[in-house]
Amino acid sequence: MSNLESFRNETRDWLEANCPDSMRTPIKSEKDICWGGKRFEFASDDQKIWLERMSSRGWTCPTWPEEYGGGGLSKEEAEILKEEMSRIKARPALISFGIWMLGPALLKYGTEEQKKHYLPQITRGEIRWAQGYSEPGAGSDLAALRTKGDDKGDHWVVNGQKVWTSYADECDWIFALVRTEPDAPKHLGISFLLIDMTWDGVSTKPIKLISGKSPFCETFFDDVEVPKENIVHEAGRGWDVAKYLLSHERANIAGGGSGAQMNPASAARQSGEVDEDGRISDPILRADIARLTIDALAFETTLQRIKDQADGGQGVGAKASMLKYYGTELNKRRHELNMSALGSDGLLWEGDNPEDGDPARSWLRSRANSIEGGTSEIQLNILAKRVLELPGG
Amino acid sequence: MTYILSEEEQMLRDSAQAFLAEKSPVSELRRLRDEGCKDGFRHAIWKDMAEMGWNGIVIPEEYGGVDMGYTAAGIILQEMGKTLAATPFLASSILCATALRYGGTEAQKSAHLPKIAEGEKVYALAVDEKARHDAKHIETRAKKDGNGFRLSGQKRFVACGNGADMLIVAARMDDESIGLFLVDPEADGVERTLRRSVDSHAPANIDFNDVKLDGDALLSETDDGAALLDAVLYAGRACLAAEQLGVAVEAFSRTIDYIKERDQFGQKIGSFQALQHRAADLLTEVEMTESLVVKALRQLDESPSQAPFWIAAAKGRATRVSRLSASEAIQMHGGVGMTDEYEIGFFYKRAQAAGEFLGDDAWCTARVAEMSGI
Ligand SMILES: Cc1cc2nc3c(=O)[nH]c(=O)nc-3n(C[C@H](O)[C@H](O)[C@H](O)COP(=O)(O)OP(=O)(O)OC[C@H]3O[C@@H](n4cnc5c(N)ncnc54)[C@H](O)[C@@H]3O)c2cc1C
């Protein structure tokens, strides 16, 4: 038996023995997601046990090195773990910005001390991270940010405001872009700082979204003292880190990770749109759903193809923008179609069950997919310039 | 399954590119059209392709082929789509070769497959009887007559039908099952009418008036003719999707080249964001389609029973996107895009014609709905 085969068997046995039954059901709503962090309240004992078991093997971050709390798995092994988890429909034990944004950036740009200190806490879900990029005057034009850090020798004093910081009021730490070299050119004056949200001068204020939720905040920095060792990479070179992290963020958003999975075909069944042969009876709805199915297959196969290219040593680069653009637009279409298929069932906002209103909330939330992490327009700009090499304006 | 081309496949692609650029660029299609070529393809080039081994690409070696499979065939067809090469490749080397390979008796295979592989004769498949593709609608009749059959009916828009030396005709038999018959177009009772098409191809309407066929005209290695026909058509669709992808890719890349060069308002038009965004969107659409086409072809080679679903998805999307790519190409070229002198219009025309052939976007989408239980 090959190594991979025996790895598969062991993994299968371990998952079978360790994944609680209630963690083998689809994620239905936000509360089913385990974000971790000091302030996180587990929805159930199983959710907590599942996180502990998975992180004790390093399997919340399977490919990170073991010395930093990861699983030390090869790409192939990590793929097998993923397959075996999806075989039993196991939920991810932990979802976090630490895993899919900060972690990769620290692995690439962090000092040894930073890696040793932060990464294991991320893998165990002990600290939850917020992303402090956007500001009121700097969204798409991120480098226009004005939050500033005054150099005081062994620390910076940070002042300014961030906006759209997802879950900031529930997070323990924030990684923030701060202008530390006021006289340098736009992209060269920015530093990437790690800031504890319990420090003096950090405060947050929630913003309510059209989905009725308010997981987004304004975050304020008021004379916050940030020690020099809390910088990632060099002073003034934060843009490199920011961009690297964005490419991971985009790949992830493109993957459609926005909470509950919607399936318009079963939505149509739920609302009774079926004929005696079990087919969706409205021919136009049926065609729309079939076309969406084809486009979703096109997207999935493209993810696979780009992965094959990357494994074969071809850089992915700006193609992350293609996936972000197409994946998020597709997800919006899926939610819209889901709402059409549900008819008035989809309009419910509040009811007796906790999951009542989920379709409408997820549909509304999905509109942000093509805004967060860089808007669709910005992705198209990137494709035009970097892939097609069209001339500048 | 991998989405990456193997070294062998890359070599095939490179040699196809080089060959077609030399022997069959778009100007060659224009020449065929302007000369009013009645066959719709150049016999000399077809012979050269046979020498490259292409014509027997899905034919077993014992019958003179190279048996490289449908992914390889798709690679060639994608390159043909880029130069709009008008050849009997799809009709003869894919559709008819597949029909013979899986439906022919030993004697039929030995008699016909080498002729296809060597390019000695051109074969065409006659299926459609309606304007919109529908292989379930077959009224052409093959009545049992002694040891043989009598064939009557009408086929429309048979691809390469006017230049074909041999036909494979789908007909309904006495028990209502489907049979595929080898028919000599020169036989008594066969009447061909050339139908020049918008893409400068030469399909034909073919009437069969009580045509007398021998018993061994029937491809009878399998007793389920409908399943055979279905498999043949799906193989054709997979390969045609690859050609459509080639059309989309080339129309797109010509457009990008053009908007990088063309000056208006004192700047390159490619610097205008309205065009940049449409170009980037098209890039995405084309890339998404390419993945599906590769998947469909590999499935056909590696697990044929799963292939029809992927092929319908790929052909449907390739139909949509090749038309989009070519119509955006005309728009972004502006006025010159509308001139006959400029080549871009040829791509638009081919996109339309290839889209109709063997089932358009609507047809394919309906199959996907059916097969996925929507
Ligand atoms: C749900 C949600 C969660 C988010 N989470 C976070 C987070 O955790 N941390 C964080 O830092 N940020 C977060 N963001 C912020 C997000 O990154 C910004 O909203 C986004 O980058 C767009 O910036 P903006 O909102 O200022 O829009 P603007 O930049 O003002 O854009 C407005 C419109 O103009 C278009 N536009 C702008 N520039 C161009 C151009 N050059 N060409 C063409 N069109 C253009 C945009 O595409 C958009 O349609 C989040 C946003 C949302 C909605």
How many angstroms does the Cα of residue A143 sit away from the middle of ligand 1?
Answer: 13
A371 lines ligand 1 (CB under 6 A): yes
Q: Is A390 within 8 Å of B368 when comparing Cβ atoms?
A: no
CA of A368 relative to ligand 1 center, distance in Å: 9
Going by pLDDT thresholds of 50, 70 and 90, the confidence category of residue A311 is confident
User: Cβ separation of A279 and B374 shorter than 8 Å?
Assistant: yes
Asked if B238 and B307 touch (Cβ cutoff 8 Å), the reply is yes
Q: Is A362 or A123 the better-scoring residue by pLDDT?
A: A123
Q: How many CB atoms lie within 10 A of CB A260?
A: 18
Torsion of CA A227, A233, A237, A238, to 10 degrees: -70
Distance (angstroms) between ligand 1 centre and the Cα of A299 equals 24
* pLDDT of B321 over the 70 cut: yes
> Chain A interface, mutation test: which of B237, B258, B291, B321, most A Cβ atoms within 10 Å?
B291
Q: Cβ B372–A390 below 8 Å, yes or no?
A: no
Q: What is the pLDDT of residues A205-233, one digit of tens each?
A: 999 888 888 888 999 999 999 999 999 99
pLDDT for the residue A330:
95
Q: Does ligand 1 have an atom closer than 6 angstroms to the CB of A129?
A: no
Q: What is the mean pLDDT of chain B?
A: 97
**What's the mean pLDDT in B310-314?**
98
| Ligand 1 centroid to residue A372 C-alpha, Å | 6
Q: Indicate the pLDDT class of residue A255, thresholds 50, 70 and 90.
A: low
Among residues A68, A95, A94, A80, which one has the least CA distance to residue A14?
A80
Q: Nearest CA of chain A to the CA of B144: how many Å?
A: 37
Q: Say what the pLDDT of residue A355 is.
A: 81
pLDDT band at A254 (very low <50, low <70, confident <90, very high): low
A166 in ligand 1 pocket by Cβ < 6 Å? Answer: yes
- B316 contacts chain A (CB < 8 A): yes
Is a pLDDT exceeding 60 seen at residue B329?
yes
Residue B261 CB neighbours (<10 A): 11
Region for residue B176 given its phi and psi (left: phi exceeds 0; alpha: psi -120 to 50; beta: otherwise): left
pLDDT given at position A393 = 61
- Asked if B345 and B330 count as a contact pair (C-beta separation under 8 A), the reply is yes
Work out the average pLDDT over B184-197.
97
Phi, psi of A227 (to 5 degrees): -60, 155
Lowest average pLDDT, out of A78-92, B23-37, B238-252, B287-301, goes to A78-92
Amino acid (one-letter) located at B20? L
Q: What is the pLDDT of residues A270-301, one digit of tens each?
A: 888 899 888 999 999 999 999 999 999 999 99
Q: Is A135 a catalytic residue?
A: no
How close does chain A come to B264, measured CA to CA in Å? 12
Rounded CA separation A237/A240 (Å): 6
Query: Which pLDDT score is estimated for A320?
Result: 87
Confidence of residue B253 (pLDDT cuts 50, 70, 90): very high
User: What pLDDT was estimated at residue A260?
Assistant: 47
Nearest to B283 by CA among A318, A218, A182, A220: A318
Instruction: Collect all residues from A whose CB is shorter than 8 A from any CB in B.
Output: 265, 278-280, 286-287, 289-291, 293-295, 297-299, 301-302, 304-305, 308-309, 312, 322, 325-326, 377, 379-381, 383-385, 387-393
**What ipTM was estimated for this complex?**
0.93
pLDDT at residue A313 in the model: 78
Selection from A101, A92, A107, A19 nearest residue A60 by Cα: A92
pLDDT, position A258: 40
Per-residue pLDDT at B241 exceeds 80: yes
Contact yes or no for A298 and B292 at CB 8 A: yes
Find the residue in A nearest to B260 (Cα): A390
Which tokens sit at B54? 């292409």
> Are B292 and A287 inside 8 Å of each other by CB?
no
Which residue stretches of chain B are H helix?
A: 7-23, 26-35, 43-51, 70-83, 97-103, 106-118, 225-261, 273-302, 307-333, 344-356, 361-371
Write the pLDDT tens digit of every residue in B284-304. 999 999 999 999 999 999 999
Considering chain A, what percentage of its residues have pLDDT values greater than 70? 97
Q: How far is Cα B131 from Cα B129, in angstroms, rounded to an integer? A: 7
In the structure encoding, which two tokens stand for residue A224, read together? 């916050």
pLDDT tens digits, one per residue of B119-164 = 999 999 999 999 999 999 999 999 999 999 999 999 999 999 999 9
Report helix, strand or coil for A383.
Answer: helix
Q: Is the CB of A11 within 6 Å of ligand 1?
A: no
pLDDT at A257: 43
Between the CA atoms of B272, B273, B276 and B277, what dihedral angle is there, to the nearest 10 degrees? -160
Q: How confident is the model at residue A256 (pLDDT cuts 50, 70, 90)?
A: low
Cα separation of B270 and A384, whole Å?
9
Q: What atom in ligand 1 is closest to the CA of residue A142?
A: 21
Annotated catalytic residue within A249, A355, A372, A377: A249
Average pLDDT in the B358-372 region? 97
Mean pLDDT of A243-260: 68
Residues 6+ apart with CB under 8 A from B177: B224, B225, B226
Q: How many CB pairs under 8 A join A and B?
A: 126
Q: Is the CB of A303 under 6 A from ligand 1?
A: no
Between the CA of A367 and the centroid of ligand 1 the distance, in Å, is: 12
Find chain A residues with C-beta within 8 A of B2's C-beta: 308
> Which residues of chain A lie closer than 8 angstroms to B289, CB-CB?
298
Whether A175 is in the pocket of ligand 1, judged by its Cβ within 6 Å, is: no
Average pLDDT rounded to a whole number, residues A165-173: 94
Give the pLDDT confidence score for residue A246 in this predicted structure: 85
Cβ of B374 and A265 within 8 Å?
Answer: yes
Identify which of A375, A379, A383 to mutate to test ligand 1's pocket (most ligand atoms within 8 A of the CB). Answer: A375
